[in-house]
């Protein structure tokens, strides 16, 4: 039996457009003798539809679109389509009004619905907000083959693999008990660094444990902050990868299920990602391209400071949208160094992008003049530094508004974490391209990018990073070295370590204390940041839900932790 | 038996401070012979703690603080304290690692834990993100009185009252079946317009239905976007309100439970809110005061345009922080009318607040000059209008940064909905005070405020609203009349109506279409807005989770709706 995996890139909410994509693929594979077509989770509306699901007319439209699609599909092709289904019991027995479902379409009809059983409600996922969990093991029989159906998270609860149980049920164990011949998984699994390795290891474990061939179909494409990397794949019952789709692009694979052996045959195996820098690069390029396209922008603008962050973002934007569609704006001030101009121009030349230069000295004087009375007798400080950044933000938005550019903001995760950035200034933009990329990773991606030829000018990489908002300023006046900062942030944000644990790893308690304070105090800035492309397991954004007005001071706990006793802490 | 209701205002995450508040109240009521003290849901950490709960050292600190509090409390006083409790089964049986619990503290010990059974996961609530539901009916016996314990949502599932069931379980029915003598509810229930009337009607229904006296203890205070209104109250078994705390302030009530009658005795009943305008006013004043205090600001700044929005926000800020702590800044442009200055100054005089005037004409010329080459040959448009707004935003932030003011933004809900506001301009601020108040409501609150004497100058209320970003501009050049706009928005945002339903209510399909498009297109602006004080059942903010890059076009569905057939739609 030929089975096709459609790794689709839907637009959220574009029901007719997404249905059309499914239809086109169906027509294509039906002509090739495919019997079963797999599409990703919620392929009809795109994942995640978020609060569009609260709109009854949206749900109704999805139902009508699904019925129409069933009628339009070629005969003798069974298609699994991701959709929502109303929970008709909700009114009397309680529970959410929708299921996250897969519909089996065949011969003009909706033949069966399967409901997702494990609903992720953590990080960026809010599925309990909308959905009631399905309670039954899901399968159907096609040409005498019993096919188990699982939806994304349904396969992420192998307690042997994880060493713990996340949910009471394990759908794959239930299906194995029922003795199905094949398990398919329809997913919309967002990218994080190294995730594909993780997915394959996990499903390999399950395939071997339950002696089940598994086909994993993933969504691809950028949807706001989330990037879906694709890399759909299949494993035979021995846990061997028998096919793998390309990453970061739509793809269509056909695999053969041997009805005698009851196993999948070896097929086309694209390479797995090998370099983290490369996969992050590809993810960010896709994220920018899709955000722009899906918001109907063809051109992007950004400020070029000659620094490493804006240089990397310019390179990403050029790869995503084409160099002819990227405008870099240089806005030197009297505090700007010579190299900030020359490095930015060298970068633009390397990339082949257009630039504009608008000095801001006169505008700075204008603000100084306007505020002279009010600020009389005060020292130059943060207020004056921010004015410069906000003048630049105003100029960039003016050009973006005038000519229809998407403004890209260029702050990295390290500075977003500690608030080393100006709200309404350099934070301005429709998309924060590297907001989830720590500064140390920014450097390593730039070095990877330069592996064949110089794209990011070498001086951009080697010079000391500086905001250049006052004479002679460098980042390390205000922040610990980025290697130290990023390690502390990793422990705080990703590993939820206590102060004691971080200090035990060799960090100065005073530095840890300061970083914790800065992280908490910058919450008000992050709340107003543009969506940032997510590449780690914990990004600032939809999956980071912190109070602003709060007073949790982790460092107070330090007195309870003996490890501090001999430290430099007062 | 004397029972005390402590309507507390915790600071999120301030474990020792919140414990101290509980201790102080406990000492006070113990001296008055109170036997049982009730505190709100999660009174130890404040509600909502959000992702602080993901931090194991935060959970550990809460445990230690609770143990210490148990030891510090007066003897012979039983105290119910809101806390989290680790789910020791999670590792082996699956499920979330915490319960949302109430601890019964008595005689130096933690005697019992009760776990919340119904976990709200909708609107601003994310409880399934953190908590596992409790499965048992919760009660304890004190001096031979059986007391049922429910936590907030546990009492919001009376299917008779709602006409439908929201959750499978109904904890109050379970407790009634067990025959408890009294039900207490520990809540953190955020304010929305008319909510107290709703709460009392609902619990009255349950009290009568189950013949149970009920004591409802609510949190009070502002926590970021959420305002908790207090209004704790109790009902006897006949459903009569026997006490009601004050709204929008901390309070402490003592009620008497008659151990012979097994019912609550009549006590002090503060008036219920009667005017919606008044309760919104009180909510917003509390919201501003607490956000400022909890973020450690004593002073606020805002731009005064002479319009009704900034005038109302100035009045709220003055009531919240004291007139001596509010600075209004007038930033006239060449397009500003005479009355924009005179009205703003009249308002400032009425309120007794300080003002500063900084004309922006020269700064506008500076930007025109800087962009002259790039903008040569283009028409004056949105880009130029936004520059003005962003100059003002920059000036306000500069003053705020320099002198430590909290900048309040003044946009109303109607303009936030349709994007009639400038990102990085008038949207700037740490808190968006009236972002959930529709324009028509802004007017009615101003009129209510003026009921005894003129506070908002009459001309501010009567003149045509204008952004004054180009000569002769008024809002109604770009928007339908606010009565129409607000009605359409109410139907779209709150009632989830379809286009057909809205048109059937008498609205022009072309106008409805335009508003739907504007609402969707402004999503990118709202994503970057400051936290806005929530006063309705659906505010933009933490409870509004919409995709930005999407293509759901409700109007396309219009062709399926017969009601449109005879309309003016092309």
CA A548 centroid distance within chain: 24
DSSP E strand stretches across A219-298: 220-223, 226-229, 233-235, 241-244, 251-258, 263-264
Is residue A91 very low, low, confident or very high in pLDDT (cuts 50, 70, 90)?
A: confident
How many angstroms separate the first and last alpha carbons of chain B? 71
Q: In the prediction, which pLDDT does A469 show?
A: 85
Q: Which of B45, B153, B424, B497 to mutate to test the interface with A (most CBs of A within 10 A)?
A: B424
Nearest to B552 among A58, A165, A499 (CB): A58
> Residue B554: its pLDDT value, please?
60
- Flag whether pLDDT at A530 surpasses 90: yes
What average pLDDT is seen over chain B?
95
Chain B residue numbers touching A375 (CB-CB < 8 A): 402
* Cβ–Cβ under 8 Å, residues B442 and B312: yes
Residue B271 makes CB contacts below 8 A (sequence gap 6+) with B244
Mean pLDDT of chain A: 95
What pLDDT score was predicted for residue B95? Answer: 94
Per CB-CB distance under 8 Å, the chain A contacts of B378 are: 402
Evaluate if residue A559 carries a pLDDT over 70.
Answer: no
Query: For residue A560, what pLDDT is reported?
Result: 43
To probe the interface with A, which of B370, B371, B494 has the most A CB atoms within 10 Å? B370
Length of chain B: 570
**A558 pLDDT higher than 60:** no
Which residue is listed with tokens 């962009």? B371
Facing residue for A93 by CB, picked from B46, B165, B554: B165
- Residue A502 has what pLDDT? 97
Tell me how close the Cα of A330 comes to any Cα of chain B, in angstroms.
12
* Angle, helices A308-321/A338-351, rounded to nearest 10 degrees: 20
Q: What is the pLDDT of residues A329-369, one digit of tens each?
A: 999 999 999 999 999 999 999 999 999 999 999 999 999 99
Reported as a single tens digit per residue, the pLDDT across A170-180 is: 999 999 999 99
Residue B541 has pLDDT above 60, yes or no: yes
From B326, B251, B346, select the one nearest B285 (Cα to Cα). B326
Identify the active-site residue in B21, B45, B106, B116: B116
pLDDT at residue B564 greater than cutoff 80: no
Of B122, B358, B553, the CB nearest to A370: B358
Q: Which residues pair with B555 in a beta bridge?
A: none
**% of chain A with per-residue pLDDT over 90:** 92
> What residues have CB less than 8 Å from A67, skipping those under 6 apart?
A110
Reported as a single tens digit per residue, the pLDDT across B504-540 is 999 999 999 999 999 999 999 999 999 999 999 999 9
Nearest CA among A422, A400, A424, A405 for reference residue B424: A424
Tokens 């909708």, located at residue: B122
Interface test with A, best of B380, B427, B547 (most A CBs within 10 A): B547
pLDDT surpassing 70 at residue A485? yes
pTM for the predicted model, two decimal places? 0.96
Tokens of A536: 């780690």
Residue B14 and residue A554: Cβ atoms within 8 Å?
A: no
How many Å lie between the alpha carbon of B240 and the closest alpha carbon of chain A? 29
Three-state DSSP string of A499-559: HHHHHHCCCCHHHHHHHHHHHHHCHHHHHCCCCECCCCCCCCCCCCCCCCCECCCHHHHHH
CA–CA dist A406, A403 (Å, integer): 9
The beta strands (E) that lie in A308-418 are given as 326-330, 354-357, 406-409
The sign one gets for the Cα dihedral B289, B293, B299, B303 is negative
Which region holds residue B102: left if phi is over 0, alpha if psi is between -120 and 50, else beta? Answer: beta
Q: Where residue A563 falls among pLDDT bands split at 50, 70, 90?
A: very low
Cα separation, B539 vs A63, in Å, equals 28
> Under an 8 A CB cutoff, do B551 and A12 touch?
yes
Tell me if A4 sits within 8 A of A264, measured CB to CB: no
**Can B106 be counted among the known catalytic residues?**
no
Report d(CA A12, CA A471) in Å as an integer: 47
CA separation for the pair A500, B351 (Å, rounded): 51
B561 is catalytic: no
Residue the block writes with tokens 């299921």:
A99
- The pLDDT assigned to B91 comes to 87
Q: What confidence score (pLDDT) does residue B468 get? A: 86
pLDDT at B560: 43
Contacts of B397 in chain A (CB under 8 A): 386, 390, 423-424
3-state secondary structure of B439: helix
Q: Tokens representing A470?
A: 């006052």
Partner-chain contact A51 B545, CB within 8 Å: yes
Q: Residues B91-98: what's their mean pLDDT? A: 92
Average pLDDT over residues B87-108: 95
**How far is Cα A47 from Cα B250, in angstroms, rounded to an integer?**
44
**Cα distance between residue A155 and residue A152, in whole Å:** 6
Q: What is the pLDDT of residues A414-447, one digit of tens each?
A: 999 999 999 999 999 999 999 999 999 999 999 9
What is the pLDDT averaged over residues A132-149?
Answer: 97
B207 phi, psi to nearest 5 deg? -60, -45
Give the confidence band of B570 by pLDDT, cuts at 50, 70, 90.
very low
Distance from CA of A328 to the nearest CA of B (A): 13
Percent of chain A with pLDDT over 70: 97
pLDDT for the residue A194? 96
**Residues A174, A211: contact at Cβ < 8 Å?**
no
* Confidence (pLDDT) at B565: 31
Chain A to chain B Cβ contacts (< 8 Å)? 288
Asked if A358 and B371 come within 8 Å (Cβ–Cβ), the reply is: yes
Could B49 and A383 be called an inter-chain contact, meaning their C-beta atoms sit closer than 8 Å? no
Q: What is the DSSP letter of A477?
A: G
Burial annotation B469-492 (CB, 10 A radius, 16+ → b, else e): bbeeeebeeebbebebbbbbbbbb
Annotated catalytic, B240? no
Active site residues of A: 41, 116, 152
Q: Is residue A115 scored above 50 in pLDDT?
A: yes
pLDDT of residue A565: 32
What is the reported pLDDT for B474? 86
Whether A500 has a pLDDT exceeding 80, the answer reads: yes
**Backbone conformation region of residue A334, classed left if phi is above 0, alpha if psi is from -120 to 50, else beta:** alpha
When mean pLDDT is compared across A72-76, A560-564, B452-456, the lowest value belongs to A560-564
Classify each residue of B395-423 as buried b or exposed e, where b means 16 or more C-beta atoms within 10 Å of its C-beta.
bbbbbbbbeebbbbbbbbbbbbbbbbbbb
- Cα atoms found within 13 Å of the Cα of residue A497, Cβ hemisphere only: 17
Total number of residues shown for chain A: 570
Q: How large a percentage of chain B has pLDDT more than 70?
A: 97
Q: Cα angle at B175 between B172 and B181, to 5 degrees?
A: 110
pLDDT average, residue stretch B371-377 = 97
Whether B321 and B298 have beta carbons less than 8 Å apart is answered as yes
What's the Rg (C-alpha) of chain A? Answer: 26
For residue range A191-250, list pLDDT tens digits in order: 999 999 999 999 999 999 999 999 999 999 999 999 999 999 999 999 999 999 999 999
Confidence of residue B470 (pLDDT cuts 50, 70, 90): confident
Closest CA to B271 of B319, B340, B335, B200: B200
Q: Which of A370, A424, A551 comes nearest B424 by C-beta? A: A424
Nearest Cα to A270, choosing from A196, A192, A187, A183?
A196
Q: Enter the ipTM.
A: 0.95
pLDDT for B450: 98
């Amino acid at each position: 039996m030929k089975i096709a995996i459609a790794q689709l890139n839907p637009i959220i909410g574009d029901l007719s457009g997404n249905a059309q994509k499914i239809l086109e693929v169906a027509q294509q594979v039906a002509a090739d003798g495919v019997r079963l077509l797999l599409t990703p989770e919620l392929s009809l509306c795109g994942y995640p539809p978020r609060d569009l699901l609260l709109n009854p007319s949206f749900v109704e439209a999805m139902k009508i679109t699904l019925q129409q699609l069933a009628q339009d599909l070629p005969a003798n092709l069974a298609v699994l389509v991701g959709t929502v289904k109303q929970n008709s019991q909700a009114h009397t027995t309680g529970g959410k009004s929708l299921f996250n479902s897969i519909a089996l379409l065949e011969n003009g009809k909706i033949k069966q619905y399967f409901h997702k059983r494990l609903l992720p409600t953590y990080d960026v996922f809010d599925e309990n907000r909308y959905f009631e969990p399905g309670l039954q093991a899901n399968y159907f029989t096609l040409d005498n083959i019993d096919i188990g159906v699982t939806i994304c998270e349904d396969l992420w609860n192998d307690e042997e693999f994880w060493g713990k149980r996340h949910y009471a049920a394990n759908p794959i164990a239930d299906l194995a008990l029922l003795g199905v011949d094949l398990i398919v998984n329809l997913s919309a699994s967002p990218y994080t660094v190294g995730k594909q390795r993780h997915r394959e290891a996990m499903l390999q474990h399950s395939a071997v444990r339950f002696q089940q061939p598994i086909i994993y179909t993933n969504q691809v494409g950028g949807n706001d902050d989330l990037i879906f990397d694709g890399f759909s794949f299949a494993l035979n019952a021995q846990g061997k990868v028998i096919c793998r789709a390309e990453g970061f692009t739509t793809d269509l694979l056909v695999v053969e299920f041997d009805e005698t052996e009851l196993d999948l045959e070896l097929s086309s195996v694209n390479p797995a990602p090998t370099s983290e820098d490369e996969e992050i690069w590809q993810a960010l390029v896709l994220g920018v391209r899709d955000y722009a396209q899906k918001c109907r922008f063809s051109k992007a603008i950004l400020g070029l400071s000659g620094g490493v962050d804006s240089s990397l973002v310019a390179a990403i934007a050029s790869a995503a949208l084409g160099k002819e569609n990227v405008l870099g704006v240089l806005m030197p001030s009297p505090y700007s160094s010579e190299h900030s101009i020359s490095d930015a121009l060298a970068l633009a030349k390397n990339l082949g992008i257009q630039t504009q230069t608008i000095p801001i000295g006169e505008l700075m004087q204008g603000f100084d003049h306007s505020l002279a009375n009010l600020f009389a007798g005060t020292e130059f400080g943060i207020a004056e530094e921010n004015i410069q950044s906000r003048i630049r933000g105003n100029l960039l938005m003016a050009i973006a508004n005038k000519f229809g550019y998407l403004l890209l903001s260029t702050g990295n995760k390290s500075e977003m974490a500690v608030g080393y950035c100006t709200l309404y200034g350099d934070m301005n933009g429709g998309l924060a391209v590297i907001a989830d990329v720590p500064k140390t990773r920014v450097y390593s991606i730039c070095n990877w990018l330069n592996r064949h030829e110089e794209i990011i000018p070498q001086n951009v990489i080697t010079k000391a990073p500086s905001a250049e908002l006052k004479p002679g300023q460098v980042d390390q006046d205000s922040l610990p070295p980025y290697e130290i900062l990023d390690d502390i942030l990793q422990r705080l944000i990703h590993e939820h370590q206590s102060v004691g644990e971080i200090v035990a790893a060799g960090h100065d308690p005073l530095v840890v204390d300061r970083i914790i304070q800065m992280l908490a105090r910058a919450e008000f800035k992050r709340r107003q940041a543009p969506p940032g492309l997510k590449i780690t397991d914990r990004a600032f954004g939809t999956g980071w839900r912190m109070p602003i007005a709060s007073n949790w001071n982790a460092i107070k706990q330090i007195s309870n932790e003996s490890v501090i006793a001999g430290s430099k802490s007062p």
